[in-house]
Amino acid sequence: MAPAESWWQTAVVYQVYIRSFADGNGDGVGDIAGLRDRLPYLARLGVDAIWINPWYPSPLADGGYDVADYRDVEPLYGTLPEADLVIAEAHEAGIRVLLDIVPNHSSDQHRWFVAALAGDPKARQRYHFRDGLGPDGALPPNDWQSVFGGPAWTRVPDGQWYLHLFAPGQPDFNWENPEVRAEFEDVLAFWFDKGVDGFRIDVAHGLVKADGLPDGGQGNDAAPGLVQHNESHPAWDQDGVHDVYRGWRTVANRYAPERIFIAEAWVPNNERLARYLRFDELHTAFQFDFLRAPWRASILRTVVDDAIKEAASVGAPPTWVLSNHDVTRTVTRYARSQPDHLIETDWERSRWAEEPADYALGLRRARAAALMQLALPGTAYVYQGEELGLEEVEDLPNEVRQDPIWEQSGHTDVGRDGCRVPLPWSGDTAPLGFSTNPDATTWLPQPQHWASHTAAAQDRDPDSTLNLYREALSVRATTWVGAGELEWIPTAPEVAAFRRGDAQCWVNTGEKPVELPTDATVVLASVAGTANQLPADAAVWLVAD
């Protein structure tokens, strides 16, 4: 008999972008109080765990991925005692809690970097400080570019340069320094001691850089990027990083119940990804190919096969992600013409947005994709607002944009604010129930038409996307969890259909309806009224009679 599965091998994890989830203190910014108020909503939705984006003190140069203190909570979001409360209350509601750890870089306000800037040589060793090139050192030490645009180096008043693969306010740690290693192992223990069930690891492939920080070289000197990172680069995915995670696993293994890790690692292929999942390293890693896949059955099939195969090679569960706080929302991604290859760089969103969007079509496909995602073996991540069928807000006024990509790209990329707009909960006018204060101005403005997308409005509509997710999560628990291996059912090329045990999932990405098997009964469909035929851009779950 196969060993019993642990919760994290089949979990549905809901991503809470805390700044935009719910505002409990009336200032227009989401917070822990708001999250606590909404735990019953999450329990009713049926998720197994939440992953909370960084909630640590931060100047918010990159939405909190610039951490000033890893052992505290950002005052805008609440206090450490409130963090303890939300962890305990989530557990009472049967929901596990994953935090987001940001080990590649700190904020420039972190006490270590402040000391480094003041000139303390020991403190500089914890980051990457170098002299510049050229006779007067006025050129950056190498050709690396920031993921967000511009050089990855900033010069300080005394003439040295420091490395930041992201914003200048996010200096990269030097992971060759044992103090950095010890510090992070201690931070993990700090939160594990508070009962946190695990961590999502930010930029997990970035920590260790190639010895001597060599140039990326020809063809590689442009932004190494996250999504479009197809070639090897001395800034990313270095073998030395695995040693860090062996140390982290040792820390996690000291705890019961199990504490787990999920890596965000944009590596070139699933083979490289699987290396992070060896038995003495991390438990799971996001497989982003699913999120990059266009709405085409042939590509979806390949992506699924590849992900399952590579995860299985190291005994890890595959993970499925349709969107997150860094990419265009699913509805919008599916609302335009679909390429015939994986989307190389979502960060070209500004150019893409020039094509008109058909949101009804996008939503229809997103609902179908959700049924596919939730039927696959392994774990599924749901980004807040996916369950409401929200689209990307593409027309934010430029003056409200906060994502550093907007400035660093020289205003050529609008950045990621459009998927981070505060959630609509109820009512007809902004802040749409997001805040306890009806007069609050939300930190990013909500579109007026989201009044019809609110959780309250969808609660009343049996065919809403919210109710589809609720039902899917409940049926998943009894139908798909533990259902065994996936086997494809031969079908038309524009259909992806698979069976796991007695259950089947059919997805039609084509333009014409397809006949469904007659020896199975529909248990859930993305389009109401589906019985013998599966319409275009729809998905269905069936159970053999």
Q: Where on the chain is the footprint of ligand GLC (CB under 6 A)?
A: 62, 65, 102, 166, 202-203, 226, 264, 325-326
Instruction: Identify the bridge partners of residue 50 per DSSP, sorted by sequence position.
Output: 14, 97
Q: Which is nearer to ligand GLC, 64 or 317 (CB)?
A: 64
- Taking each helix axis from N to C terminus, what angle separates 359-375 and 465-479, rounded to the nearest 10 degrees? 20
Whether the CB-CB separation of 56 and 68 falls below 8 Å is answered with: yes
Q: Which is nearer to ligand GLC, 56 or 166 (CB)?
A: 166
Q: What single string gives the DSSP state of each residue in 131-178? A: PPBSTTS-B-SS--B-TTSSBSEEE-TTS-EEE-SS-TTSPBB-TTSH
Task: Check residue 332 and report its DSSP letter.
Answer: H
Taking alpha carbons only, the member of 516, 508, 477, 259 closest to residue 367 is: 508
Taking alpha carbons only, the member of 144, 52, 151, 176 closest to residue 102 is: 52
- Which residues participate in catalysis according to the annotation? 202, 264
Taking alpha carbons only, the member of 208, 62, 217 closest to residue 145 is: 217
Min. distance of Cβ 367 from ligand GLC in angstroms? 25
Residue with the closest Cβ to ligand GLC? 65
Q: Which is nearer to ligand GLC, 129 or 266 (CB)?
A: 266
CA distance linking residue 172 with residue 152, whole number of Å: 10
Min. distance of Cβ 252 from ligand GLC in angstroms? 21
* Helix, strand, coil percent values for the chain (each to nearest 5): 30, 15, 55
Taking alpha carbons only, the member of 106, 46, 96 closest to residue 200 is: 96
Whether the CB-CB separation of 132 and 140 falls below 8 Å is answered with: yes
Min. distance of Cβ 246 from ligand GLC in angstroms? 22
Tokens of 2: 């196969």
Q: Which is nearer to ligand GLC, 164 or 336 (CB)?
A: 164
Instruction: Provide CB contacts within 8 A for 87, sequence distance 6+.
Output: 97, 194, 195, 196
β pairing state of 161-163 and 153-155: antiparallel
Amino acid letter, 544: A
Q: Which is nearer to ligand GLC, 14 or 480 (CB)?
A: 14
Min. distance of Cβ 426 from ligand GLC in angstroms? 28
Taking alpha carbons only, the member of 226, 358, 212, 207 closest to residue 291 is: 226
Min. distance of Cβ 288 from ligand GLC in angstroms? 10
Min. distance of Cβ 4 from ligand GLC in angstroms? 32
How would you list the strands of the sheet with 503-508, edge to edge?
487-488, 495-500, 503-508, 538-544, 520-525
Min. distance of Cβ 187 from ligand GLC in angstroms? 16
Q: Which is nearer to ligand GLC, 21 or 480 (CB)?
A: 21
Question: If DSSP codes are grouped into helix, strand and coil, which group holds residue 404?
Answer: helix
β pairing state of 153-155 and 96-101: unpaired
Whether the CB-CB separation of 181 and 244 falls below 8 Å is answered with: yes
> For residue 213, which phi and psi values (nearest 5 degrees)?
45, 60
Q: Which is nearer to ligand GLC, 149 or 431 (CB)?
A: 149
Min. distance of Cβ 202 from ligand GLC in angstroms? 5
Tokens of 122: 């020991």
Q: Which is nearer to ligand GLC, 200 or 301 (CB)?
A: 200
Whether the CB-CB separation of 216 and 144 falls below 8 Å is answered with: yes
Min. distance of Cβ 382 from ligand GLC in angstroms? 16
**How many residues in the chain?**
545
Q: Which is nearer to ligand GLC, 323 or 508 (CB)?
A: 323
